[in-house]
């Protein structure tokens, strides 16, 4: 209902006609992590961005939905950055977020909408108590809508499913802070020289 409301309101308020994407336009979600996770820094902020190929440089993000999963750990502290009607950070259940949705009302004149590409949609904190060295996979799934707007032709371009690829990313976890490792390297080298 929430996601339906978001995109119904977008369609009604903008009166844009739906259209298929041009073959060269593809969309995805980008997933970024703010820092490497370690015992001294057990939390990182995950940002989810909408991104698309735009040879014309005239397309703007209209709306999209997603679930977000991490290989392990726990999500918390959701923040909606793009807050169009019906936007939601979804429901968090441990390492899974379901029902995330973000959008903006596409009013063609003047361009009141943020035109950025990629555009930041939402952020989530991710935390672990397992500091075994590893990379934790991040993935979006269950997207059913990913829309762009072309304000020149006053139309909505739907990239899902044919011109859309689910997003992926990683969180890097190390057992000790990287700075300690860097500081320890000269000591290890000096110890080896003395033994020789």
- For the chain, domains (ranges, CATH) are 2-195 (2.60.40.680)
The length of the chain, given as a count of residues = 196
The Cα 165–Cα 140 span in angstroms is 9
Tell me what percent of the residues of the chain surpass a pLDDT of 90: 60
Is residue 132 scored above 60 in pLDDT?
yes
Q: What is the pLDDT of residues 69-107, one digit of tens each?
A: 999 999 999 999 999 888 999 999 999 999 999 998 776
Is residue 31 scored above 70 in pLDDT?
yes
Is residue 11 scored above 60 in pLDDT?
no
DSSP 176: S
Q: What pLDDT, on the 0 to 100 scale, is given for residue 102?
A: 96
Residue 8 — very low, low, confident or very high, per pLDDT cuts 50/70/90?
very low
Residue 16 — very low, low, confident or very high, per pLDDT cuts 50/70/90?
very low
The Cα 82–Cα 114 span in angstroms is 9
Q: What is the pLDDT of residues 173-186, one digit of tens each?
A: 999 755 555 555 56
Query: How far does the chain reach from its first CA to its final CA, in angstroms?
Result: 71
Residue 194 — very low, low, confident or very high, per pLDDT cuts 50/70/90?
low
Higher pLDDT, 116 or 23: 116
Q: What is the mean pLDDT of the chain?
A: 83
Q: What is the pLDDT of residues 52-71, one digit of tens each?
A: 998 777 888 999 999 999 99
**Long-range contacts from 28-32, C-beta under 8 angstroms, 24+ separation:** 28/52, 28/164, 28/165, 28/166, 28/167, 29/64, 29/66, 29/121, 29/140, 29/143, 29/166, 29/167, 30/118, 30/167, 30/169, 31/68, 31/138, 31/139, 31/140, 31/167, 31/168, 31/169, 32/169
The Cα 156–Cα 126 span in angstroms is 34
**Which of 58, 175, 172, 65 lies closest to 117, judged by CA?**
58
Is residue 10 scored above 60 in pLDDT?
no
DSSP 154: T
Q: What pLDDT, on the 0 to 100 scale, is given for residue 178?
A: 52
């Amino acid at each position: 209902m929430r996601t339906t409301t978001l995109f119904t309101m977008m369609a009604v308020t903008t009166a844009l006609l739906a259209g298929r994407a041009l073959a060269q336009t593809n969309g995805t979600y980008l997933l970024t992590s703010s820092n490497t996770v370690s015992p001294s820094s057990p939390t990182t902020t995950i940002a989810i961005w909408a991104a698309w190929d735009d040879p014309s440089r005239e397309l703007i993000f209209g709306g999209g939905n997603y679930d977000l999963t991490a290989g392990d750990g726990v999500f918390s502290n959701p923040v909606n950055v793009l807050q169009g009607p019906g936007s939601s950070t979804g429901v968090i259940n441990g390492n899974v977020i379901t029902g995330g949705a973000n959008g903006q009302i596409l009013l063609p004149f003047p361009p009141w909408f943020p035109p950025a590409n990629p555009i930041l949609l939402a952020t989530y904190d991710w935390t672990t108590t397992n500091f075994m060295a590893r990379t934790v996979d991040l993935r979006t799934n269950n997207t059913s809508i990913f829309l762009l707007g072309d304000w020149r032709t006053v139309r909505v371009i739907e990239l899902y499913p044919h011109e859309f690829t689910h997003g992926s990313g990683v969180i890097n976890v190390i057992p000790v802070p990287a700075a300690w490792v860097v500081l320890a390297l000269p000591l290890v080298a000096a110890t080896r020289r003395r033994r020789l």
